[in-house]
Amino acid sequence: MAHDHAHHHGHAGSEHARGSRNLRLAFFFNLAFILVEVAGGLWTNSLAVLSDALHDMGDVLVLGAAWYLSHLAVRGRDAKYSYGYGRYGMLGGWLTALVLAIGSVVLMAFTLSRINAVHEPHAGGMVLLALFGLCMNGFAAWKLHGGSSLNERGAFLHLMEDVLGWAAVLVGGILIHFTGLGIIDPLLSIAINLYVLFNAIRTLHKGTAILMQRLPEDFDEAAIAEALLALPHVTGSHDQHAWTLDGQYIVLTVHLEVDTTDAEERFRLTDQARQVLKDMGVHHATIELERPQDECSLQDH
């Protein structure tokens, strides 16, 4: 058994090291590309390219946070954080979404103020930058594809959004080249910023719900209570609360009223209740057993 544990720990450590290396590589690739992107946006006089640079900046923040948090994740719980460091990942995403939301609104206001001005972006330069962006972001996404950690999967999705954004810039550059309609560029910029703003607001809404300890998404309180009441010796339940630390890890506390005082039966019942909750998606459960006649000060809360 000790050998299996050591083997599992070594495998998990190697997976963590691989994920951390991939996140670091994706972070530096995107950080370097932002500098090229801003310079290219100014060179091509393209608001769409500058808008995508804003999006990429947000993704660099996400990648940097994911890279840093991949190191925090192995710490687990300690004297200061009894539930571990998982919520830092959610907080990092929330702050990144706030930065992106503000940035997209500012950039849209700037774009709208110039939409009637003479605007002639360098269509050929836009196409070249878009192709370069597709290659860079595509490579970074490929490195994170199939990652086992939530950090890697989340960063992969952000990079795929970047790939789609550069595909839009590529199409816009080709249309401008063949039609000469410079207004396509600011319209494309507005579309990209609206897309970024929509996703940022959705992330802010989800993160705020987590911070306010709202019930986890798709969590059925009634089904949980029903499953617990179906266990032997359970006559009632109350003071059931559930929340999530980071959008994935679910915590639940509950008081169960039982009609037995036998220590062995109560131990077996607690074990069964934990297994039921685990099967229903609860990662950490605190279960308190009471007799039906016991008075609980938390019963009405």
Local confidence band at 297 (pLDDT 50, 70, 90 cut-offs): low
Q: The tokens 């196409």 sit on which residue?
A: 127
pLDDT at 87: 73
- Is pLDDT above 70 for 201? yes
- β-pairing, 234-244 with 284-290? unpaired
Q: Alpha-carbon distance 243 to 223, whole Å?
A: 16
Average pLDDT rounded to a whole number, residues 1-16: 42
> Quick count: other Cβ atoms within 10 Å of Cβ 265?
14
**Domain chopping of the chain, boundaries:** 2-211, 221-290
Q: pTM for this structure?
A: 0.68
Q: How far apart are the first and last CA of the chain?
A: 44
Kindly report, residue by residue over 81-122, the tens digit of the pLDDT.
777 776 776 776 677 778 778 878 887 888 888 777 656 788
Please report, to the nearest 10 degrees, the dihedral formed by the alpha carbons of residues 257, 263, 267, 273 taken in order.
-20
Give the dihedral sign, CA 60/61/65/68: positive
Residues facing residue 285 across a β-bridge: 252
* CATH hierarchy code of domain 221-290: 3.30.70.1350
Structural fold of domain 2-211: Alpha-lytic protease prodomain-like (1.20.1510)
Distance CA 90, CA 180 (A): 44
What Cα–Cα distance (Å) separates residue 191 from each residue in 79, 178, 194?
A: 47, 21, 5
The pLDDT-based confidence of 264 (bands split at 50, 70, 90) is: very high
Cross-strand bridge partners of residue 288 = 255
Cβ-based neighbour number of residue 300 at 10 Å? 7
Phi, psi at 285, each rounded to 5° = -125, 135
> Is 30:39 a contact under the CB 8 Å cutoff?
no
